[in-house]
């Protein structure tokens, strides 16, 4: 049941991330800010929770770039999408590696 909720969280995060990427800066910051606060649920296995936290860290990286306007070698959007897709992939497998 908890893994199913994590799947819903991951799908939601991916959808919001895609919307944020095409949004204006302030809207993107608002959407990403909500994702950063969406922590792994209690009872989720460690690997799935780690992937969720990796995605949160990637969302925070996008926020940092949007707020500071800094230039980075790797697109933070791509890093966030990749981290979210890894999390979603494991969640789709029922949370099992």
In this prediction, residue 69 carries a pLDDT of 79
For residue 71, the model assigns a pLDDT of 64
Into how many domains does the chain fold?
Answer: 1
Looking at residue 3, its pLDDT comes to: 67
H or E element, residue 25: helix 25-36
| Burial of 32: CB neighbours in 10 Å, binned 0-12, 13-18, 19+ | buried
CA distance 56 to 64: 12
In a domain, 78, yes or no: yes
Chain Cα centroid distance, residue 46? 17
Is 97 part of a structural domain of the chain? Answer: no
> Cα(33)–Cα(52) distance, rounded to whole angstroms?
15
Q: Summarize pLDDT for 44-57 with one digit per residue, the tens.
A: 899 999 999 999 99
Domain presence at residue 71: yes
Distance between CA 95 and CA 88 in Å, rounded?
9
> Is 34:16 a contact under the CB 8 Å cutoff?
yes
Residue 1: predicted pLDDT: 63
Q: Which domain holds residue 36?
A: 2-92
Spans of the chain, pLDDT less than 70: 1-3, 71-74, 96-97
For the whole model, what pTM was predicted? 0.88
Could you tell me if residue 66 is inside a domain? yes
Rounded to 5 degrees, what angle do the CA atoms 13, 88, 22 make?
35
């Amino acid at each position: 049941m908890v893994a199913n909720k994590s799947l819903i969280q991951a799908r939601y995060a991916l959808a919001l991330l895609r919307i944020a990427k095409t949004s204006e800066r302030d809207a993107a910051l608002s959407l990403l800010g909500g994702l950063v606060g969406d922590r792994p649920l209690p009872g989720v296995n460690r690997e799935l929770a780690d992937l969720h936290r990796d995605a949160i860290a990637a969302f925070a990286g996008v926020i940092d770039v949007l707020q500071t306007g800094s230039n980075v070698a790797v697109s933070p959007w791509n890093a966030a999408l990749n981290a979210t897709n890894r999390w979603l992939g494991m969640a789709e497998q029922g949370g099992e590696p």
